Structure 1
């Protein structure tokens, strides 16, 4: 079927980006300023109405009332002669909830709240919670898992760390998508996602292309196309679909649209440093689209791995005790490792590991970095530093020509605080290892060295000392971030330990006092990361990949 587009505006531009397989003959509008736009011919509406080269008109606009009235006044009928851009959205969905089973949501915490608040036309029949604290949630009864027959329900998992629940369901012979799914699947239906960004009437004077080239592989095989702190929406699970299908999915394309149209509809503006001091503008301030929309790379060029939570420490910010995967969890981690080695590793240019767990404590990550195919142009090593010994460094670096950059998560400047926050850690061992890392940086074996510090009540008074320690060792950057609640704390506990006020943007007065310390305020290596208050504004409007930009802010030119 042949179409013409009625409307030369951002909605039309977005529509053409997503539905690039339609046969579009040309564009039209009541008034035109050019005879070509985005590679298409352009004609006035009166000309188009006399033409017979198309079958239907597609109306595209934020407010379509006047356009529809115009067509109807000329005798054109909806459905027969013209359709709306949103009529096509449902074609993008490859998933719908089954109609032959009642729906159960597993979880009654933050993720379940998000599901219930954000999902359109969604109401489960019951809730399930292994640690239920109430009998009713959103006017539905809450059950323990053993109080019901799981096979009798279609289950939506709505908890942050879902591996254990997935194992329970799989042990009951239930299959993902067929018998259960993640709440991200519900919230991430392409039709709903496209509706959110295509009709988002704000935009930012920022050009970030991270989602076009970036893939994160996470717990249980989940994936995302940007930092998990900045973007909550998952792509498909890599264990459920081929790598090409994950990467070139409708959902990923819509996520890419949200950065190319510069709405950044799915980005957390309060977390991502790129949005510091950048306010949105309404579409009316800039009616024309005078920039090109770029397409995603053929395969992920930047691959960030964080799928094995195995760790030698039990940091209070993320877990109650040390944890190493075993049983079914280990089988899942091993399956992900095999898949990464077979389908993802050789094609990536920049490898980041590991965003979850400790790279030198994980057999899975070791299998990645010791694989002969693991020799990308660039590697960013994320570690807690306790196992960063000469022996482990030699094993990591063996047979690689990669430029290697390292970030060490520390969170303290004294042994007392360090060993309270990073349980099972040894500050003297860490200091010795950081002297070794400093020597590697000075010799050029490490191309970049950064120390991370998550600010909370137990350590904020040590921030200045931490800066001085980093400067003494010659690190490239000291990176401070505000503490986040990954489900480790109750709401009341988190309010007590966080150094941010209730809005999560403004620091508490005692932290403001510390931030004004000249040692912090005047240091050239300090970055306040997600603490946007007093954040030093980075004069940048073009970012090809956030992680590359982040490293080059203090590390100089690292990437070609």
Structure 2
């Protein structure tokens, strides 16, 4: 009987996956499918049976679909079998972790509470988030979102669809509805920093704002009229659909990524005409948070198409390693007047350290490009030139020298960031590298470095390092 129920649960995986991806168009939401299955399994679920099944899963004797694992974890939470629930969730594929029901279930199991609610739910009831009304965000799987997929997993469409259609499509309207109704049912409480850090303003703030501000007046009108279909195009876009990079930094990826010609040509067909036109009036277009834009033939082609259509109003924001951004390339792409800011990931102040943490790069080739960007900033040809530093065991001692290097080349500011594990490290390797972790054996040495007066300068931002 129990095995039959497991098989029936696995048979609902397709419906569960579809509901996760398209809550606006699905007849059953993902959570409803899991809830229904949990109800069927609950009478057969005991701690003894749970431990036996977990043993079979660990030995590879059984494999269960995600929705079945979630249903069993939900039953375990309701029965107070907290470790069983945590063990079951560990068998989920990594990509399933981004779905919001999984997030709620994992939080409940971790904190040993039977209620799947979140403390942020009540706070969000009178909040407003402008992002679904202002911007789009493209991802490496070619899905299109309003903000990063980790913050809001549900896509509004994909790159193969007409951008104007998905901007006001069913999924887009449903997500906007969830914001205006205050349930934020498609937003991650754990990963969205605006929710996690309680940054969102109340709806009343926008309704009472100075009507002389066009943006505030627009938000107030949207809130008052509950407008989920917009007559404006996105004001901002973050393009991150090509992960191509000329480096293989251990902190980011296990090796170099280069698109095949077929995939590159397909992206050119999908993006360069449709999105170059659709975004030509945007106030900000950002390239490329998850790759190197100047190592991507596709992004180079997009930049040429975009710059040929857009006014020279400084709309482009570029995230780059800086190695390929030479003065000659700047001229060839005719970026003059199109770029407002350049953020360069450097992570080192000396050639030896750079060679260790930025595999595939040469410090002597980077320096002239940094000086060129500093020259552009002094000429006020760009508004922002920032240098970024991902703090880890191999480079933390160079933090003060990095600030001095930034000043020497003419950067406006420095951002220090904490190392994250994007699946490129084993847990042991990550713990060994993450010196910002208070449990790291060299953490006190990092704190000593942070006492250097140069790191307290106004142009230095250490908030993302998370060392308090």
Aligned counterpart, 1:222 = 143
Correspondence for 2:130: 209
- Counting only pairs closer than 5 Å after superposition, residues 66-215 of structure 1 correspond to structure 2 as 93-95=24-26, 136=57, 141-142=62-63, 158-160=93-95, 200-203=121-124, 208-215=129-136
Residue in 1 aligned with 2:51? none
**Is 1:356 the equivalent of 2:356?**
no
Which residue does the alignment assign to 1:341?
272
- The whole-number CA distance in structure 1 between the counterparts of 2:36 and 2:201 is 30
Cα deviation, residue 410, structure 1: 0.7
Give unpaired runs (5+ residues) of structure 1: 1-90, 99-114, 124-133, 144-156, 161-181, 189-194, 535-560
The question of 1:331 aligning with 2:230 is answered no
Structure (1/2) with the larger strand percentage = 1
In the aligned structure 2, how far is the partner of 1:333 from the partner of 1:158? 28
More deviation, 512-521/212-221? 512-521
Q: Taking structure 1 as the reference length, what is the TM-score of the superposition?
A: 0.56
**1:24-53 Cα distance to aligned partner (Å, 9 max, x none):** xxxxxxxxxxxxxxxxxxxxxxxxxxxxxx
Q: Distance in 1 between matches of 2:325 and 2:200?
A: 43
Alpha-carbon distance in structure 2 between the residues aligned to 1:469 and 1:268: 38
Task: Give the deviation of 1:439 after TM superposition.
Answer: 0.9
- Per the TM alignment, residue 305 of structure 1 is displaced from its structure 2 partner at its CA by 1.1
Counterpart residue number, 1:246: 166
Q: Does 1:397 align with 2:334?
A: yes
Quote the offset at 1:425 in angstroms: 0.4
SS of the equivalent of 1:444 reads: coil
Pair 1:385–1:417, CA change in 2 (3 A): same
Query: Which residue in 1 is equivalent to 2:245?
Result: 311
Q: What is the distance in 2 between the residues matched to 1:97 and 1:480?
A: 44
Compared CA separation, residues 323 and 513, structure 1 to 2 (3 A):
same
Name the SS for the 1:202 alignment partner: helix
Deviation string, structure 1 residues 129-170 (Cα, Å, up to 9, x no partner): xxxxx9726998249xxxxxxxxxxxxx9555xxxxxxxxxx
Aligned residues: 365
Residues 391, 199 of structure 1: alpha-carbon distance in 2 compared, 3 angstrom cutoff: closer
1:381 matched to 2:318: yes
- CA–CA distance in structure 2, aligned partners of residues 526 and 274 of structure 1: 25
Structure 1 residues 271 and 493: alpha-carbon distance in aligned structure 2, compared to 1, 3 A threshold: farther
Determine whether 1:428 maps to 2:428.
no
Q: Distance in 2 between matches of 1:199 and 1:183?
A: 19
Aligned-partner Cα distance in 1 for 2:392–2:242? 25
Kept in 2: contact 1:215–1:223 (CA 8 A): yes
**Cα pair distance change 1:279/1:334, threshold 3 Å:** closer
Q: Which residue of 2 aligns with 1:151?
A: none
1:185, 1:532 → 2: CA distance?
26
Corresponding residue of 2:109: none
Q: What SS does the corresponding residue of 2:319 show, helix, strand or coil? A: strand
1:446 Cα deviation from its structure 2 partner: 2.0
TM-superposed deviation, 1:233: 1.5
**If each structure's helix is expressed as a fraction of its own residues, which one has the higher value?**
2
Please tell me whether Structure 1 or Structure 2 has the larger radius of gyration of its CA atoms.
Answer: 1
Q: Does 1:488 align with 2:452?
A: no
| Equivalent pair of 1:451/1:475 in contact (CA under 8 Å) | yes
RMSD of aligned alpha carbons:
4.3
Report the Cα distance in structure 2 between the residues aligned to 1:347 and 1:218, rounded to whole angstroms: 17
Change (3 A) 1:494 1:92: closer
Structure 1 residues 511 and 281: CA distance shift in structure 2, 3 A: farther
